Structure 1
Amino acid sequence: MNADPAAELSGAGVRRFTRQATATRADTSWLTLGGDVLSALTTAGVVVAVFGGAFSALRERIAARPEAAATDLPGELTALVAALLVTAGVVALLSRLGPLSATPATAAWWLPLPADRRGLLRGELRRVCGVGLVAAVVVALPVVLAAPAAPTLPEVVVTVLAAALVSLAAVGVLVVLQARELTGWVAPAAGAVATVAVVVPAVVGTVGSWTWVPTAPDISLPLLGGVPVLLAVAALLAADRVSGRLRAGALRERGTAVFVASASALSLDTRELGRALGTPVHPPRRTRSWSWVREPWQAVVAGDLAVFSRSPWRWGQLAIGTALPVLAARTDGLGGVPALVAVAVVIGWSVAAVALGEPARRAHGAPAADRALPMGAKDVVRARAIVPVVGLAVVCAVSAGVVGLGWEWAALGAATAPAWAGAAVRGGYRPELDWSGPVLSSPMGAVPTGVGVTLVRGLDLGVLGTVPLVIGLLLGEVPDLLLGIALGWSLLLGLISVETAQKKG
């Protein structure tokens, strides 16, 4: 280090010296780097072309089909709802992991230095902005391509650019909130917005008409691009200015969470990823007596109810899981394609099953309380399936009944509930990844050979339990024979799920 010591101890100087030291020890040439960049751009172009062609073909197929009855929501609205869901998820993720953080190496080597923290964190701010830009393109591009009318190239470019600028503004606002330690409300607010965005259109599309909502005014392209530019610039300047106020302890804590979440995502360990990003459990507002608890199995049910009721986001998941199939069934174009409605049913009921499987996941992670009960392990698992059965019976019955607009559809949905309840328990008790055996090489690194079986454990039987409902969607009606088959099939799958929940295979 032969530069000015004062410059070296500035944030920019430390980052520059680290880059130089890394470059001297790296075996990557500029030619290799250029090849990697060209490969990434080529891959992105191929992905865009494939998605554009797929959306164009889907648009033509939907336009060629006759308009289905009981569809009232425009396709643009549903596309915006999907984009809002993804955006809310990204915002909640950034608020829980930062957005600015310090990895263990950064916390050990950089933060103790007498250098300005604002300069040290500027590189991290750029990386987070890059993540926001990628997320904006991933969210905005399908929305534009899914429009009923084929968009022009300027419309695609301007819309994607506006979304990218809005994402930069959101990153800047999150950094300002992080500096003031006010990010605790962001994730709950994002979850509430996502819930309202799904439930309200589904309800309005079922009981009323969406035509009462005023149409969006025509906005000129310069205005559409100019306002986001001002917002992004102002937010990023404010974020850069306040980044020096972030506490080292808070940065280190967020960095540890980022490290654990990144390692879990790369190794496809969804259980550990859920722990890193888990929602907090709020203490009860009032004391509950649980006077009805007299038997050990009732204590298990009471504990499951307590765990579930103290996590408000789980209630939002149930609402989204109920309304998502209804939203697809009420959307022009989607409602006339039974396969797309079936996909929405599987996604929505999977979300509800994940919410109701939270007590099982906690019991698997901390089994001491269950082992203290005067019950066998099998009996505990059977008791733990009671809350999911009741909850999913309501979710599936309401969702399917509103999709098909008939009591027979509600009965078919309720008949499917045991399979999804068993899937929730089976998924909650799925084993940890086994790293002691052979591993496979993947683009993300080494993963255990049985990772695929572990990922779909629980979900597989839930999807199988939905087959009778899919048949009903294809037929357009629910015969009595199908209803009886669905109930027997679902009970069988639910029993298999519960009885094999704690097995490693």
Structure 2
Amino acid sequence: MGDAEPLPADTDDAENAQDAENAQDAQDVEVGTLPDVGPEHRLPRPVVDPDEAFSGREIRRLTAAVLASRTGGGLGQVLSDLAYIATSVLISAGLAVGIANALRDVVDAPAVEGAATLDPETVRLLVTLALVAAGLGLAVRLGPLGVSAGGVRWWVPMPVDRPGLVRPTLVRALIAGPLLGAAGFVLVAVVTGTEWSAVGGSAALGAAAGLVVVALAGLAQPHPGVVSGLARTSDLGVAAVPVLGVGLVVAGVSTGRALDLPLWVDGLVGVAGVGLTILWASRLDRLSSAVLRARSAVADQASAGVMSLDLRALGRAMQGSVRLRVPRRPRTFARVRGPVQAILTADLTLFARSSSTWAQVIGLSALVVVAQQIPALRAGVGLLLLLVVVGYRAATVGAQGARHAEQSTELDRIVPLGARDVRRVRAVLPSLTALTVTLAIGLPLTFASGDPGWLVLALAGAVTYGAAAIRNAYRKPPDWSGPLLATPGGALPAGASAAFTKGPDVAVLCSVPWAVALLLGAPAPELVVVQLLLAWVAVLVATRVPAERT
């Protein structure tokens, strides 16, 4: 019996040890570190059956089936959509042909004897180069591949193949690129008076060029730095085309039949486009979720600007893909004294850091010089339209600071100045950018006639366009809740149409003295005085602050 007494002690020790082990396991579970167990106690690793996993194509089809079941669209709806698309295409084609014929009459207008004239083939070459550069910039900014905003939220996080999700946009890009390229080249050929027998060759070259542009944009899309560089290069290319035209005009060079290229050139460009497309299609899996989200945001903002006819929103969407070069140690504001200098320096710094803005100003100034070599744009109504359109555009390019201030109102509120004074200061840079265009018209007229009144009109006109750009930059967003206004193009809210005219209305109405002077051929002293008064009125109107903004 004496040997049996230690058993309870051993049993207690065993039970205590078991309790301690259970407590340690519970503690390990709480802290998230499970003890290592033997192979016989481990759970099997979950394995996904490849035959049961969804692909990107199946996810798209499943989503389309769900949407179709909820919308209830049938064959009638499909036929109705196709009829609508066909009607829209026919109407757009008719408008394009009408505009092309009108521009063709302008380019082929008879020249004044003894005056320099720009050859139509030279115009064709310049416009074609600008079209290719602008198309590349638009393609890289919008991004040819992507999914919708809903697809970014629901499809992209799924463990499915990325090429299967974006393949429909690849097909659309490969169709839209050549079609738009061919249409653009054909319009340029028709406008410049090309014979109809050579239009087919222009269409083939345009389709091949469009394929190359879309493929290059697709290859660059996964790399934001390359996209920004190509966008900046395209802006510089568009601005360099008018400068090239000025050089051709000064040198007296006529390109003759420069664009009558042999067929093997069209084939070479087409082969390059096909090769780039194959390379692009093999790299669809390199698109990251960040790139797809950025592309979706730009596409949504751009489509909203197009649907609402808001060019300001569209411009913001296009500028979102270009990065500004910010120096590491900015010393621009070291000598700034006072709020006025601070605003001017900030606007100038923003203008200088964006290569596309100052390049556009240079290009617009050169465009005015080149366009005046066309007989119909040398005097009269043609020259007036050139002045108003290009001058106002140059002013809006210089009003980037005001546009940012309208979007972020705290930029103006932190400055110890009144709202009217802030707007007056911000009107300085747009007036200077518009001055480059007005001087490009006023100086030749002054040298030709010897009348300095043209220079005064140029200075006053620059102030007018600068004020119009400020009025447009600070305008309210369109009000789509107002009453509808019946127009030949459909119903349009009256409030929205009124918002779109703020800015251009001042530019047009305050250019009446210019119109009279160009029609008469001389700036009378009364016209100069009226133009100065209208410039003052334009500044007053543009700097007026509504009551709700004070």
Residue of structure 1 aligned with 2:373, choices 324, 330, 348: 330
Question: Residue 430 of structure 1 contacts residue 501 of structure 1 at CA under 8 Å; is this kept in 2?
Answer: no
Residue of structure 2 aligned with 1:393, choices 417, 425, 435: 435
Q: Give the structure-2-normalised TM-score.
A: 0.79
Aligned: 1:312 with 2:352: no
Structure 1 residues 304 and 64: CA distance shift in structure 2, 3 A? closer
Question: Residue 11 of structure 1 contacts residue 115 of structure 1 at CA under 8 Å; is this kept in 2?
Answer: yes
Residue of structure 2 aligned with 1:67, choices 88, 95, 112: 112
Aligned: 1:167 with 2:210: yes
- Measured against aligned partners, the alpha-carbon deviations of 1:94-128 in whole angstroms (never above 9, x if no partner) come to 21232222322112232233332122211111223
- In structure 2, the residue matched to 1:414 is 459
Give the Cα separation in 2 of the matches to 1:85 and 1:62.
Answer: 17
Give the Cα separation in 2 of the matches to 1:80 and 1:267.
Answer: 34
Give the Cα separation in 2 of the matches to 1:502 and 1:67.
Answer: 54
Give the Cα separation in 1 of the matches to 2:379 and 2:53.
Answer: 63
AA in 1 matched with 2:503: G
> Which piece of structure 1 moves more, 353-362 or 341-350?
341-350
> Which piece of structure 1 moves more, 225-234 or 417-426?
225-234
- In structure 2, the residue matched to 1:255 is 296
- Measured against aligned partners, the alpha-carbon deviations of 1:161-181 in whole angstroms (never above 9, x if no partner) come to 321232122111211122345
> Which piece of structure 1 moves more, 442-451 or 71-80?
442-451
Shift of 1:189: 0.2
Residue of structure 1 aligned with 2:190, choices 136, 145, 170: 145
- In structure 1, the residue matched to 2:534 is 489
Structure 1 residues 437 and 488: CA distance shift in structure 2, 3 A? closer
Residue of structure 2 aligned with 1:176, choices 216, 219, 230: 219
- In structure 1, the residue matched to 2:133 is 88
Structure 1 residues 231 and 498: CA distance shift in structure 2, 3 A? same
AA in 1 matched with 2:166: L
AA in 2 matched with 1:355: V
Q: May I ask how many residue pairs the two structures share in their alignment?
A: 495
Q: Higher Cα Rg: structure 1 or 2?
A: 2
Give the Cα separation in 2 of the matches to 1:40 and 1:374.
Answer: 54
Residue of structure 2 aligned with 1:277, choices 315, 318, 335: 318
Question: Residue 353 of structure 1 contacts residue 392 of structure 1 at CA under 8 Å; is this kept in 2?
Answer: yes
> Which piece of structure 1 moves more, 386-395 or 315-324?
386-395
Question: Residue 401 of structure 1 contacts residue 411 of structure 1 at CA under 8 Å; is this kept in 2?
Answer: no
Give the Cα separation in 2 of the matches to 1:384 and 1:130.
Answer: 44
Give the Cα separation in 2 of the matches to 1:54 and 1:274.
Answer: 24
Unmatched tracts of structure 2, length 5 or more: 1-48
Give the Cα separation in 2 of the matches to 1:186 and 1:448.
Answer: 38
Question: Share of identical aligned residues, percent?
Answer: 28
Shift of 1:192: 0.6
Question: Residue 211 of structure 2 contacts residue 273 of structure 2 at CA under 8 Å; is this kept in 1?
Answer: yes
Give the Cα separation in 2 of the matches to 1:443 and 1:280.
Answer: 41
Give the Cα separation in 1 of the matches to 2:438 and 2:339.
Answer: 29
Question: Residue 368 of structure 2 contacts residue 440 of structure 2 at CA under 8 Å; is this kept in 1?
Answer: no
Structure 1 residues 341 and 190: CA distance shift in structure 2, 3 A? same
Structure 1 residues 317 and 285: CA distance shift in structure 2, 3 A? farther
AA in 1 matched with 2:51: A
- In structure 1, the residue matched to 2:86 is 41
1:365-380 alignment runs, 5 A limit: 365-380=407-422
Structure 1 residues 138 and 499: CA distance shift in structure 2, 3 A? farther
Shift of 1:390: 3.5
- Measured against aligned partners, the alpha-carbon deviations of 1:330-364 in whole angstroms (never above 9, x if no partner) come to 13x43456333332222211221111111111122
Give the Cα separation in 1 of the matches to 2:434 and 2:81.
Answer: 47
Question: Residue 108 of structure 2 contacts residue 120 of structure 2 at CA under 8 Å; is this kept in 1?
Answer: no
Q: Give the structure-1-normalised TM-score.
A: 0.86
RMSD: 3.3
Give the Cα separation in 1 of the matches to 2:366 and 2:471.
Answer: 24
SS at match of 1:494: helix
Higher relative contact order (CA 8 A, sep 6+): 1
Aligned: 1:434 with 2:479: yes
SS at match of 1:119: helix
Question: Residue 372 of structure 2 contacts residue 383 of structure 2 at CA under 8 Å; is this kept in 1?
Answer: yes
AA in 1 matched with 2:402: A
Structure 1 residues 218 and 446: CA distance shift in structure 2, 3 A? closer
Give the Cα separation in 1 of the matches to 2:328 and 2:179.
Answer: 41
Question: Residue 420 of structure 2 contacts residue 545 of structure 2 at CA under 8 Å; is this kept in 1?
Answer: no
- In structure 2, the residue matched to 1:29 is 74
Aligned: 1:189 with 2:230: no
SS at match of 1:121: helix
Shift of 1:59: 4.0
Give the Cα separation in 1 of the matches to 2:331 and 2:530.
Answer: 41
Shift of 1:315: 0.4
Give the Cα separation in 1 of the matches to 2:548 and 2:538.
Answer: 16
Shift of 1:443: 12
Question: Residue 325 of structure 1 contacts residue 341 of structure 1 at CA under 8 Å; is this kept in 2?
Answer: no
